[in-house]
Amino acid sequence: MNRTISVALAGYSFIIDEFAYIKLSDYLSALRNTLDAAEADEVMHDIEIRMVEIFREELGKREVINESDVQKVITQIGNPEEIEAQNEGYTANPEVQQAQQKFYEKPLFRDPTNAKIGGVCSGLAHYFGIQPYIMQLIWAAVAVLGIFTAHISTLLIVLIYCLLWIIIPNAVTASDFLKMKGQPLGFDNLKAESAKNAKFIIEPNSGNAVRKNGSQKAFSSIWNVLRYFIGGIFALVGIALIFGAMSVVFASFSENMLQLPGKFRFYLDDPLFRYLFLAFTLISILLPASLFIYFAIKLLSPKTTLKSTGYVFGGMLISWFVLLIVLSALFFRKEFRYSGENSDVQNVAINSASDSIFIEQKKIQIPANFKAVGHDYFSDKKTVYDGETPEIRITRKEGDVKPHLIITKEADGYNLPLKSKVAVEVLDNKVLIPNYISYPYSEIGRGYRTNYELVIPANKTIINNFPKSIIEDSADDNYDDNADENGDEDYGTTLRISEDSIFVNGKQVTENQAEKMLRDAKNSEAKSVSVKIENGKKEITIKAR
């Protein structure tokens, strides 16, 4: 059983056993004796900071420093006798160089000794082993390039720089500077770096000196307020994203996992695709959530050390890319498994003597056991009802033409039969277009679609009562062409209104078309307007020229 002593190294408190204390005290005294009096305090402070780092790494969950811990400190920093011999060796053989670490083995710090804007460029230059001015030129070139190209955002470059300024710690001690440069943390290096830092702080006239004047204190106060404000926002966003990820997990156990657009929702019925997509969604949420939480911790508590964050973020990012590639491969395999297109044309006669044809909506009755998938699909895992916004082409032909509806059903898969059902119905002069088509559940990926063409005589009137349908009438094209050919100066309009029809310039049109033509005539400078009422024919004729 050994006695323990409480000691302070560089302001940090440790408990050390008696024999280890004697050994450490003798070692510190020997190191101090090798230094000049003017530099002893500064160098010893940096050496003690390095000792603190080593002790913290070695202790782990232990509380008491023992002799083996002290010996490890001596081994890493060096004995005074070895230091003297090393100095003589370097003097005799200048080609002997200290091995430097590779860039990925070095921690990243900001360098205040060569700082232009925060020391970010200088720190990155040390990290990658290049000159600071080269790194500064790279950042400046990319930022300027963003002004002249849409592929790079100057604002984004500035934002990234500011984030690096916030995240990357500033090099303060000699140990920090040596780590930044990838140099061994031995006694000689600590001594030399400590002397550089002392000179850097003492010379106030140096352009790179660190001085705490009034403006810097004011900026520091403002920055602290902003730091806590931004850190708080980042923390809230990160927590909100984590709750969002939890919601996705809970929703995955429900029947309707996610309300995804279109037929993509059907792909989730495949268990492999479903769970891969769930993992992809979770990582897509947790990755930015982790970044926001990390930034919040760095802003609110800059001294907090988080280990292995690079591995965590790197692993999540790699997993995200792998899942994206796998999901894309599965999706495109399903989406493009059919080659070519197949179509089926059906003609439906319209046997009506009326001069008008009505286009109506036929509401399809969907059984109650069918579940909604998104906004336009219903399914019971056997049959799918697919909601359509019909596009109807009106083709007008001169001469003796019998009205008829051409229904064209199309789907992917040239060599596969079409299995969609389009419940069109014709009742006298009414054409009932269904708002849903149906097909087997196994045919989801074929992309069923339906086109309609209504062929009628030129003098027939079309009245569309189908909400949200798209009507393309060839009469509109003919009217626009005639208006262009006649020109504004010779333009004339004759409107004849009978009991159940409207004719403009001898052509039967719908009410909407007649209103459009009258507006155009009103906007032009009409030289004369004549109105004729024929009681026998029960019609009114209005002529403008």
With a cut of 50, say whether residue 488 has pLDDT above it.
Answer: no
Q: What is the pLDDT of residue 283?
A: 92
Q: Which helix (H) or strand (E) holds 83?
A: helix 80-92
Q: Which residues of 353-372 are buried (b: 16+ CB within 10 A; e: fewer)?
A: eeeebbbebeeeebeeebee
**Between 120 and 154, residue with greater pLDDT:** 120
Q: Are strands 449-457 and 391-397 parallel, antiparallel or unpaired?
A: parallel
Q: Read off the DSSP letter of residue 297.
A: H
Task: Kindly state the average pLDDT of the residues 398-413.
Answer: 90
**Between 40 and 444, residue with greater pLDDT:** 444
With a cut of 80, say whether residue 431 has pLDDT above it.
Answer: yes
- Render pLDDT for 222-248 as a digit per residue (tens, 0 to 9): 777 777 888 888 889 989 999 888 888
Q: Which helix (H) or strand (E) holds 281?
A: helix 271-300
The pair of structure tokens assigned to 30 is 């020997």
- Render pLDDT for 489-535 as a digit per residue (tens, 0 to 9): 444 556 666 555 566 655 556 666 666 666 666 565 555 555 455 54
Q: Yes or no: say if 282 and 397 are a contact pair by the CB < 8 Å rule.
A: no
3-state secondary structure of 2: coil
200: buried, middle or exposed (CB in 10 Å: 19+, 13-18, 0-12)? middle
With a cut of 70, say whether residue 288 has pLDDT above it.
Answer: yes
With a cut of 60, say whether residue 443 has pLDDT above it.
Answer: yes
Please give the radius of gyration of the chain, using alpha carbons only, rounded to the nearest integer: 41
The pTM score is 0.43
Q: Yes or no: say if 464 and 359 are a contact pair by the CB < 8 Å rule.
A: yes
Q: Which of 20-34, 147-161, 208-222, 330-344 has the lowest mean pLDDT?
A: 208-222
With a cut of 60, say whether residue 335 has pLDDT above it.
Answer: yes
Q: Which helix (H) or strand (E) holds 290?
A: helix 271-300
Q: Yes or no: say if 500 and 355 are a contact pair by the CB < 8 Å rule.
A: yes
With a cut of 70, say whether residue 467 has pLDDT above it.
Answer: yes
Q: Which of 67-71, 143-147, 494-498 has the lowest mean pLDDT?
A: 494-498
- Render pLDDT for 391-403 as a digit per residue (tens, 0 to 9): 889 998 888 889 9
* Average pLDDT taken over every residue of the chain: 75
Q: Which helix (H) or strand (E) holds 191?
A: helix 187-202
The pair of structure tokens assigned to 292 is 């926001």
**Between 412 and 535, residue with greater pLDDT:** 412
Of 89-103, 253-267, 382-396, where does the model show the most confidence? 382-396
Q: What is the pLDDT of residue 426?
A: 92
Task: Kindly state the average pLDDT of the residues 194-199.
Answer: 57
With a cut of 60, say whether residue 177 has pLDDT above it.
Answer: yes
DSSP 354-400: -SEEEEEEEPPPPPTTPEEETTTEEE-SSEEEEE---EEEEEEESSS
Task: Kindly state the average pLDDT of the residues 258-270.
Answer: 61
- Give the pLDDT band of residue 168 (cuts 50, 70, 90): confident
Q: Yes or no: say if 449 and 410 are a contact pair by the CB < 8 Å rule.
A: yes
Task: Kindly state the average pLDDT of the residues 341-362.
Answer: 90
Q: Any residues with CB less than 8 A from the CB of 337 and at least 6 apart, and which?
A: 445
With a cut of 50, say whether residue 208 has pLDDT above it.
Answer: no
**Between 322 and 308, residue with greater pLDDT:** 322
Q: What is the pLDDT of residue 131?
A: 85
